[in-house]
A and B are shown apart, each in its own frame.
Chain A
Amino acid sequence: MSNVLANLKYAASHEWMLLNADGSVTVGITDHAQEALGDLVFVELPEVGAHYDADKEIAVVESVKAAADVYAPIAGTVTEVNQAAADAPESVNQDAYSAWLFKMTPDNVADLDKMLDAAAYQAVADAA
């Protein structure tokens, strides 16, 4: 059974978001997503400074089995990427909520309020 953390926001496309004190948002893929993909072997991160609209392809995670796009859950500008996750993709399998992929400054922080809470995402994951 995959793990869903109560303090995070979620997208139906299986990204998690954490609002930081400085107003940036940390983004990763959910435990459910890593479990569905299986052993990850490659992570392609976005470029720092690039702007993405919501729902645009922003990163790629590939397992032995398949490639999956990661989508920008909300519109914003990438401020930092987690090179450690790209160097060790298996870290996302080990703990999807520690091995974040990128941070972004949202165009509108209120967009986060429209995202799923833990209970709503759990329902999405259970139905998948």
Chain B
Amino acid sequence: MLKKTVLNSAHRAMNARMVDFGGWDMPVNYGSQIEEHNAVRNNCGMFDVSHMCPVDVVGPDCRAFLSRLVANDVAKLKVSGKALYAAMLNDAGGVIDDLIIYFLTDTRFRIVVNAGTAEKDLAWMQAKVAEWKLDVTITQRRDGANNLGIIAVQGPNARAKVWEVLPQAKAATEGLKAFFAAEVDQYFIASTGYTGEDGYEIMLPAGEAEAMWNKLNAAGVAPCGLGARDTLRLEAGMNLYGQDMDETVSPLDAGLAWTVSMNTDRDFVGKSALTAAGQQKQFLGLILLDKGVLRGHQKVTTPHGDGEITSGSFSPTLQQSIALARLPLGVQIGDEVEVDIRGKALKAKVTKPVFARNGKAVI
């Protein structure tokens, strides 16, 4: 039995093509994935991401808890509303999940974790609260009473469209720089996203999600499926948990070194393992020079040894196939490498791992 978000019937009413996405019945597209992708790059689109799990962390020991829990440093969160992208590691330094932490007050934070990892994440967090004997309460907000829906509205016109539908939110959100959140009545509105475009992620009481979805659609926001979400995040060079990293992969080998804060006395789970292992691989981009499509798990041959594609697809913005790949140290941006696609060695160029943002190619 697939799990359904609160917007399931809205997707079906819009003729979405539904797929089993990690146990969730989710829309992969509403017709054309490429048109949805382009709507977000050039105008505005919306995604149902209610399968992701908001987690409220409340209590006097919030900071002490989060400081040890994740590899990024919550001491960076000084202004109320500021968000931090972080990896939660196991003792071996592998990534249990990547998540966003929103700082609200010193006794109240909100975390949003991935759909497929939510149960494991919650169990891990609860175990750490007990182990460290901290005064923190962890409450998931995805299922049951008081659950939240999440709608991501993304694209250059996203903010204006959200204000059209939620005029009362304009004053509190128009000044939000990237990676902040504001609470307006029952709405939690964050200037975060997974597309490389401006926009908001709106958390709201689940019972209001369908009305909000339909109002946004009436205002001209295109419904977009998880297919477009994947090509948008791939172009933007954003990691996908389970593909680009997992519990066996160090954040240092997955392009997440920028989220790992090692340079203070602060201890966090996985720190000693990361210090001992150091960086073993580098996380880079590939553009296919021959015709074809790069995909996850394809082998990459370089003069410095073999690597592997972790995510690949066709880039609607570049009109070429692109990928994120874990490659041996020593490979340089600009190098030409070979990718094994169905037994043929096709040529690809190594790039920095970001291809398009804010409506344009950046490569």
A residues adjacent to B (C-beta < 8 A): 35, 38-39, 41-42, 44, 60, 62-65, 67, 93
B291-329 CB mask vs A (1 if < 8 Å, else 0) is 111010000000000000000011010000100000000
Question: A65 to B33, Cβ gap below 8 A?
Answer: yes
Question: B342 to A38, Cβ gap below 8 A?
Answer: no
Within 8 Å CB of A41, what residues of B? 293, 314, 321
Additional 19 contacts, C-beta under 8 A, given A42-B293, A63-B33, A65-B227? A35-B17, A38-B33, A39-B32, A41-B293, A41-B314, A42-B292, A42-B314, A60-B342, A62-B292, A62-B293, A64-B33, A64-B37, A64-B314, A64-B316, A65-B28, A65-B33, A65-B313, A67-B293, A93-B32
B231 within 8 A of A: yes
A1 to chain B, nearest CB (A): 10
B294 to chain A, nearest CB (A): 10
Within 8 Å CB of A62, what residues of B? 292-293, 314
B157 within 8 A of A: no
A64-B28 contact, Cβ under 8 Å, with A38-B227, A39-B34, A42-B292: no
Q: Which of B37, B291, B314 has the most CB of A within 10 A?
A: B314
B29 within 8 A of A: yes
A96 to chain B, nearest CB (A): 15
Question: B313 to A64, Cβ gap below 8 A?
Answer: yes
Please name 13 pairs of A and B residues whose Cβ atoms are closer than 8 Å in the assembled complex, sorted by A: A35-B17, A38-B29, A38-B32, A38-B227, A39-B32, A41-B293, A42-B293, A42-B314, A62-B292, A62-B314, A65-B33, A65-B227, A93-B32
Question: B292 to A44, Cβ gap below 8 A?
Answer: yes
B28 to chain A, nearest CB (A): 7
Contact of B34 among A35, A44, A60, A64 (CB under 8 A): A64
Complex: how many Å from CA A71 to CA B29? 26
Q: What is the chain A residue whose CB lies nearest that of B19? A: A65
B30 to chain A, nearest CB (A): 11
Within 8 Å CB of B29, what residues of A? 38
Complex: how many Å from CA A60 to CA B34? 20
Within 8 Å CB of A65, what residues of B? 28, 33, 227, 313
Contact of B28 among A38, A67, A93 (CB under 8 A): A38
Complex: how many Å from CA A93 to CA B231? 19
Considering only residues 93-143 of chain B, those with a C-beta below 8 Å from chain A are: none
Question: B314 to A67, Cβ gap below 8 A?
Answer: no
Within 8 Å CB of A67, what residues of B? 293, 295
Complex: how many Å from CA A93 to CA B35? 13
A86 to chain B, nearest CB (A): 8
Within 8 Å CB of A60, what residues of B? 342
B45 to chain A, nearest CB (A): 15
Within 8 Å CB of B313, what residues of A? 64-65
A77 to chain B, nearest CB (A): 22
Complex: how many Å from CA A63 to CA B291? 13
Within 8 Å CB of A44, what residues of B? 292
Complex: how many Å from CA A63 to CA B292? 10
A90 to chain B, nearest CB (A): 8
Complex: how many Å from CA A65 to CA B37? 12
Within 8 Å CB of B37, what residues of A? 64
Q: Which of A41, A42, A62, A93 has the most CB of B within 10 A?
A: A41
Complex: how many Å from CA A28 to CA B293? 20
Q: Which of A38, A39, A44, A67 has the most CB of B within 10 A?
A: A39
B19 to chain A, nearest CB (A): 9
Q: What is the chain B residue whose CB lies nearest that of A42? A: B293
Within 8 Å CB of A42, what residues of B? 291-293, 314, 321
Complex: how many Å from CA A65 to CA B316? 12
Q: 10 shortest A-B CB distances, which residue pairs?
A: A41-B314, A62-B293, A39-B34, A42-B293, A64-B314, A64-B33, A38-B33, A39-B33, A65-B227, A64-B313
Complex: how many Å from CA A44 to CA B344? 12
